[in-house]
């Protein structure tokens, strides 16, 4: 009795009827199972420290490894420019490590959003780019290229804040 009431409430909240649920085909049931498996895989990757590839994302051919590295590098360049501006605007002010980390995180996020918005027409939604990074990131060669870009970026970020003092 209680189960039926809860079931009816859930069906109503989703705008479904028992008949609709009963007509789920084997094909759509298989699609739901595949989606659930893809989400489990994505969660396992994320929890394991690996950038997950979103289920159902197709990487366009123009989003090659080299193109991903170019866009990634452009994001880092914009982060450095924003960090330099912030450093100049706040010259002489002392920040706690937490404040500085928060500011860098915000400008990083803004830079990534700006660059991805710039290329939305040619690269698609941001999730496509992030999935491409995850896909190509399975290659040790690509990982090394990202590590080199990141090492240079970290040095430039430190310099951006030192220069304004």
Nearest residue to 37 via CA among 59, 45, 129: 45
Per-residue pLDDT of the chain (165 residues; tens, 9 = 90+): 777 788 778 777 777 777 776 666 555 677 778 778 888 887 887 888 878 787 888 899 999 999 999 999 999 999 999 988 988 888 877 778 898 889 889 999 999 999 999 999 888 889 999 999 999 998 999 999 999 999 999 999 888 877 655
Element (H, E) at 153: helix 140-163
Residue 43, CB half-sphere, CA atoms under 13 Å: how many? 6
The pLDDT, as a whole number, for residue 164 is 56
pTM equals 0.73
What phi-psi label fits residue 59: left (phi over 0), alpha (psi between -120 and 50 degrees) or beta?
beta
Q: Count of CB atoms within 10 A of residue 155's CB?
A: 10
The pLDDT, as a whole number, for residue 24 is 62
CA distance 142 to 135: 10
């Amino acid at each position: 009795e209680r189960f039926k009431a809860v079931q009816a409430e859930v069906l109503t909240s989703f705008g479904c009827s028992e008949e609709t649920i009963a007509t789920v085909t084997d094909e759509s049931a298989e699609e739901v199972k595949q989606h659930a498996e893809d989400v489990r895989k994505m969660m396992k990757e994320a929890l394991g420290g690996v950038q997950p590839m979103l289920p159902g994302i197709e990487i366009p051919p123009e989003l090659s490894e080299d193109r991903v590295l170019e866009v990634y590098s452009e994001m880092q360049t914009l982060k450095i420019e924003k960090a330099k501006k912030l450093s100049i605007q706040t010259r002489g002010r002392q920040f706690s490590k937490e404040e500085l980390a928060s500011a860098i995180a915000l400008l990083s996020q803004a830079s990534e959003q700006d660059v991805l918005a710039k290329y939305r027409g040619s690269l698609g939604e941001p999730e496509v780019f992030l999935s491409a990074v995850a896909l190509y990131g399975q290659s040790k060669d690509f990982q090394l290229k990202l590590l080199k870009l990141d090492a240079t970026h970290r040095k430039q970020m430190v310099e951006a804040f030192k220069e304004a003092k």
